């Protein structure tokens, strides 16, 4: 039996890697917004979902027009990033900024607003799809060029999977560069550290917060399009589970910590896929794949018990 | 405004709507009468005039309901009278008590006997109000955001559903369902089980910053739903997605004879409805009493202190973990007890009733009414329940009839409307908008707690 399990391992590792990169890209949005505003942006999972739906619509309408699959995917990725980024910016402007301006100290207020935004976005997308296509469970148009596969020893790899990994790595590297070596990145880190002092240094916090939402949203949008290409069935409610798992990943890596979010995402992706694949065998089929979500939350709870600051996070003293 | 003019207007509006309700109780007269309640609540007439008007309007609504037409709107009118009773300052306590009791104990059952849907509506409002009051302890008083509240509801419901139905025979030696009298014992068992679950979940999460609790409870809600959905194997505990039915109800022969002692003869359809309605009222009474007493106790003050400023509260020597755990476990226990009632009332339990949407709905009730405010939370529960199981559905049906008749609105033929467009399915949209607008424009809620009201005024003065 052990042999059979080991034979599966490379494939499981690949699946975990794909899921992990999706989680990592979503987790970055959570962690950046949390770093700047100390807010769990529940609506972020819906920004991801909007990216996925944009991807489906782009493929639906552009596939007959554009014959080159790679060009089509590139356009879909750009569209997904643009739409998701724009929605994220407008969510911040319409829902979160008014709260900040009024200066409420109650931390529940922005959190509840975020939940409200998340619900509104879900049903708004459902409404639009219902009126537009009279259905809201969408299927990604499949392109043979992206589905072509390579059989490596022990693994079955599709071109779209390779693209997912490459694009994710590029996005993550780009983000690291942006945050660490550009003026905007410095400003974001400054606002995250101390908003008032940053304002005194001539940084406009509102603008920086808006940019943070734009970057996080665009990343989630790209993740959404890639997710849609990879997993093909999309609905307005598809953001919820990846969303909370990405948040778990952000906590796993240490919330507010950008490399932490990437590591957390990859670790969680691997753990979940491993659990999903091996649980049925190890428990003689008594507990199946459907418990993989439970595993993710158990990891979160255990982590909070033993290492609440996350894998890469540092203990922060609460400011008075 | 001149007081005499106000008195005249209030009495005039009352008289007109009373007349309309008696002559033709329908949708239109219902609207007029609700507007009259609004006038009574808004114009500063004398207390006597206002009390008299409310009493007359109650009478009007009740008589209208007894004739069995214009149902839902008149029922909402009764609730509006209840709310006005609570919110209008200066009405003497005995009038409030008498009129409130008359509405709850006479008007609603009268309405229910003519239209059993209204009984169902009343019971659902009651169950959700009691749960929202439980969540109010957690979110409103202690300021801990619990996004998995429906998980405790589910644990309570399944506790009774498994043993109060033949389901338990699947994994133990027979003898199930248990006698319906065990229902009361299981309410206590559910309270204990959910309180312990609350402590176990709260223990890791409550040691950390508040947001972690939100996400951990969200996870818990999802875990409980997944378990309920999948624990039909290896051992069939929950019967999976099909749910468990029929769940035993407590025997109510004593209740029937009690009621016939009062001259009320119940038929097989309405007896359980009246029983559950009254049971829920009693439970709400208990929950309110516990809320008030806890709020005024040492723990209540500690909760408010933690909500307002955790660091300061800690510095004052309040034991953080224990105090928070108590709030969390108390809220969980209320939810568990209501789960048992829910299971018995519907005789059917399935994982569908315990989704994230359910948790957020209950949170929405607390937020809409006013965190920490008892009348506010009950109002919020009533408003969202009516919206959810009555208004949106009626609107959907109305739209469907329009669609079938091929009516046009603003030049658009409704028959062309996609059939996926059904207002009843968009409750998330409505809840979401309610949450966002409340947080931006009135974070203290419809009927704010006194402390929040003072704060809101302070912020206004500053700006």
Residues of B in Cβ contact (< 8 Å) with A38? 211
Q: Tell which residue, A113, A116, A57, has the closest CA to residue A83.
A: A57
Which has the higher per-residue pLDDT, B417 or B84?
A: B84
Distance CA A79, CA A72 (A): 10
Asked if B421 and A109 come within 8 Å (Cβ–Cβ), the reply is: no
pLDDT of A315: 63
Residue B380 near residue B366, CB atoms below 8 Å = yes
- Determine contact: B28 vs chain A, CB below 8 A: no
| Site from B142, B144, B219 to mutate, A interface, most A CB atoms within 10 angstroms | B219
Strand-pair category, B408-409 with A149-152: unpaired
Distance CA A258, CA A312 (A): 9
Q: What is the pLDDT of residues B159-181, one digit of tens each?
A: 999 988 888 887 777 777 888 88
Asked if B428 and A122 come within 8 Å (Cβ–Cβ), the reply is: yes
- Determine contact: B227 vs chain A, CB below 8 A: yes
- Determine contact: B315 vs chain A, CB below 8 A: no
Least confidently predicted of A12-26, A232-246, B78-92, B293-307: B78-92
Distance CA B438, CA A99 (A): 11
Q: B411: alpha, beta or left, given left = phi > 0 and alpha = psi -120 to 50?
A: left
* First CA to last CA distance, chain B: 28
Q: In which band, very low, low, confident or very high, does the pLDDT at B199 lie, cut at 50, 70 and 90?
A: very high
Residue B159 near residue B193, CB atoms below 8 Å = yes
Asked if B226 and A119 come within 8 Å (Cβ–Cβ), the reply is: no
Distance CA B283, CA B275 (A): 12
Residues of B in Cβ contact (< 8 Å) with A247? 215
Distance CA B142, CA B136 (A): 9
Buried b (16+ CB within 10 A) or exposed e, B431-457: bbbbbbebbbeebbbbbbbeebeebee
Q: What is the pLDDT of residues B326-357, one digit of tens each?
A: 999 999 999 999 999 999 998 899 998 898 88
Interval B401-425 mean pLDDT: 72
pLDDT of B63: 85
Distance CA A21, CA A5 (A): 24
- Lookup result for tokens 């043979």: A144
Distance CA B93, CA B96 (A): 5
Residue A272 near residue A19, CB atoms below 8 Å = yes
Percentage of chain B exceeding pLDDT 90:
22
Asked if B215 and A247 come within 8 Å (Cβ–Cβ), the reply is: yes
Distance from CA of A51 to the nearest CA of B (A): 19
Question: B381: number of CA atoms within 13 Å, CB side?
Answer: 26
DSSP alpha helix (H) spans, B138-296: 149-163, 182-205, 210-230, 253-261, 271-296
Residue A104 near residue A87, CB atoms below 8 Å = no
CB neighbour class for B59 (10 Å; exposed up to 12, middle 13-18, buried from 19): middle
Distance CA A186, CA A198 (A): 10
Asked if B440 and A98 come within 8 Å (Cβ–Cβ), the reply is: yes
**Other C-beta atoms within 10 Å of A291: how many?**
19
Distance CA A83, CA A220 (A): 10
The kind and range of the H/E element at A233 are strand A233-234
Residues of A in Cβ contact (< 8 Å) with B139? 108
pLDDT of A87: 97
Q: In which band, very low, low, confident or very high, does the pLDDT at B459 lie, cut at 50, 70 and 90?
A: low
Residue A84 near residue A48, CB atoms below 8 Å = yes
The verdict on pTM exceeding 0.95 is no
Residue A31 near residue A255, CB atoms below 8 Å = yes
pLDDT of A257: 82
Least confidently predicted of B33-37, B110-114, B134-138: B110-114
Residues of A in Cβ contact (< 8 Å) with B212? 251, 304, 308
Asked if A107 and B211 come within 8 Å (Cβ–Cβ), the reply is: yes
- Determine contact: B204 vs chain A, CB below 8 A: yes
Distance CA B368, CA B430 (A): 12
- Determine contact: B462 vs chain A, CB below 8 A: no
Nearest chain A residue to B443 by CA: give it: A109
Rg (CA), chain B: 23
Distance from CA of A291 to the nearest CA of B (A): 7
- Lookup result for tokens 């609700």: B34
**Other C-beta atoms within 10 Å of B398: how many?**
11
What does pLDDT average to in each consecutive run of 10 residues of chain A (320 residues)?
Answer: 77 91 93 88 94 95 89 95 97 91 78 91 92 86 84 83 92 91 93 91 93 95 95 91 89 84 91 85 76 82 78 62
Looking at the partner chain, which of B208, B210, B215 has a beta carbon nearest the beta carbon of A244? B215
| Site from B420, B449, B456, B459 to mutate, A interface, most A CB atoms within 10 angstroms | B420
Distance from CA of B170 to the nearest CA of A (A): 16
Asked if B443 and A106 come within 8 Å (Cβ–Cβ), the reply is: yes
- Lookup result for tokens 């207390």: B47
- Determine contact: B426 vs chain A, CB below 8 A: yes
Report phi then psi at B10, rounded to 5.
-60, -50
Distance from CA of B210 to the nearest CA of A (A): 8
pLDDT of B22: 83
Strand-pair category, A155-158 with A233-234: unpaired
Instruction: Report CA-CA distances (Å) from B48 to B45, B61, B77.
Output: 8, 20, 20
Looking at the partner chain, which of A107, A131, A297 has a beta carbon nearest the beta carbon of B421? A131
pLDDT of B278: 92
pLDDT of B109: 85
Residues of B in Cβ contact (< 8 Å) with A286? 233-234
Residues of A in Cβ contact (< 8 Å) with B209? 318
Report phi then psi at B413, rounded to 5.
-75, 120
Distance from CA of B397 to the nearest CA of A (A): 18
């Amino acid at each position: 039996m052990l042999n059979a399990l080991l034979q599966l391992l490379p494939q499981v590792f690949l699946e975990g890697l794909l899921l992990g990169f999706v989680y990592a890209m979503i987790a970055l949005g959570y962690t950046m917004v949390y770093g700047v505003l100390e807010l769990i942006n529940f609506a972020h999972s819906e920004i991801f979902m909007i990216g996925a739906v944009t991807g489906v619509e782009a493929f639906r309408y552009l596939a007959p027009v554009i014959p080159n699959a790679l060009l089509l995917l590139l356009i879909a990725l750009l569209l997904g990033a643009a739409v998701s980024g724009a929605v994220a910016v407008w969510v911040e402007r319409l829902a979160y900024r008014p709260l900040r301006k009024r200066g409420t100290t109650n931390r529940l207020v922005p959190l509840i607003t975020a939940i409200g935004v998340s619900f509104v976005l879900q049903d708004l997308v459902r409404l639009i799809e219902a009126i537009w296509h009279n259905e809201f469970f969408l299927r990604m148009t499949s392109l043979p060029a992206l589905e072509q596969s390579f059989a490596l020893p022990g693994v079955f790899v599709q071109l779209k999977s390779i693209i997912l990994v490459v694009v994710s790595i590029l996005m993550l590297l780009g983000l690291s560069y942006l945050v660490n070596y550009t003026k905007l990145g410095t400003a974001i880190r400054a606002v995250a550290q101390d908003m008032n002092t940053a304002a005194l240094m001539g940084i406009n916090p509102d603008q920086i917060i808006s940019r943070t939402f734009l970057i996080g949203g665009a990343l989630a949008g790209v993740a959404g399009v890639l997710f849609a290409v990879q997993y093909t069935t999309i609905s307005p409610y598809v953001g919820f589970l990846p969303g909370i798992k990405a948040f778990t990943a952000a906590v796993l890596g240490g919330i507010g910590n950008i490399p932490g979010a990437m590591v957390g995402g990859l670790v969680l992706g691997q753990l979940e896929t491993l659990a999903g694949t091996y649980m049925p065998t190890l428990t003689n089929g008594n507990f199946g794949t459907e418990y993989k979500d439970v595993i993710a939350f158990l990891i979160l709870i255990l982590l909070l018990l033993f290492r609440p600051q996350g894998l890469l996070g540092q203990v922060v003293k609460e400011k008075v | 405004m001149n007081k005499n003019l106000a008195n005249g207007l209030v009495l005039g509006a009352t008289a007109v709507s009373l007349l309309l309700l008696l002559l033709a109780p329908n949708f239109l007269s219902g609207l007029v009468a609700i507007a009259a309640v609004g006038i009574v609540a808004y114009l500063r007439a004398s207390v006597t005039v206002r009390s008299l008007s409310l009493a007359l309007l109650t009478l009007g609504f009740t008589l209208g309901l007894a004739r069995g037409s214009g149902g839902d709107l008149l029922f909402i009118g009764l609730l509006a009278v209840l709310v006005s009773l609570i919110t209008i300052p200066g009405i003497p306590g005995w009038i409030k008590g008498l009129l409130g009791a008359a509405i709850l104990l006479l008007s609603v059952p009268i309405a229910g006997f003519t239209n059993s849907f209204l009984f169902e509506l009343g019971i659902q409002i009651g169950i959700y109000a009691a749960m929202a009051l439980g969540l109010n302890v957690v979110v409103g008083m202690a300021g801990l955001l619990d996004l998995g509240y429906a998980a405790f509801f589910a644990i309570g419901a399944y506790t009774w559903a498994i043993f109060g139905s033949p389901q338990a025979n699947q994994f133990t030696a027979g003898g199930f369902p248990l006698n319906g009298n065990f229902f009361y014992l299981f309410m206590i068992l559910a309270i204990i089980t959910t309180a312990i679950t609350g402590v176990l979940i709260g223990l890791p999460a409550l040691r950390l910053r508040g947001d972690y609790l939100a996400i951990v409870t969200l996870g818990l809600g999802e875990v409980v739903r997944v378990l309920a959905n999948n624990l039909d194997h290896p051992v069939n505990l929950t019967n999976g997605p099909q749910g468990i039915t029929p769940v035993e109800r407590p025997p109510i022969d004593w209740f029937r004879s009690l009621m016939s002692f009062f001259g009320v003869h119940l038929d097989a359809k309405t007896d359980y409805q009246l029983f559950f309605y009254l049971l829920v009222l009693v439970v709400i009474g208990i929950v309110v009493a516990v809320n008030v007493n806890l709020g005024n106790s040492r723990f209540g003050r500690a909760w408010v202190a933690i909500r307002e400023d955790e660091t300061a509260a800690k510095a004052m020597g309040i034991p953080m973990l224990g105090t928070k755990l108590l709030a969390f476990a108390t809220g969980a226990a209320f939810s568990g007890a209501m789960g048992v009632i829910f299971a018995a009332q519907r005789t059917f339990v399935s994982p569908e009733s315990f989704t994230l949407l359910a948790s957020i709905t209950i949170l929405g009730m607390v937020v809409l009414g006013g965190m920490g405010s008892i009348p506010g939370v009950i109002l919020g529960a009533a408003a969202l329940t009516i919206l959810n199981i009555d208004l949106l559905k009626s609107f959907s049906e109305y739209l469907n009839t329009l669609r079938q008749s091929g009516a046009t609105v603003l030049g658009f033929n409704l028959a062309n409307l996609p059939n996926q467009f059904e207002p009843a399915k968009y409750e998330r949209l409505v809840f979401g908008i309610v949450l966002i607008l409340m947080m931006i424009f009135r974070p203290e809620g419809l009927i704010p707690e006194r402390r929040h009201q003072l704060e809101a005024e302070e912020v206004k003065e500053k700006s």
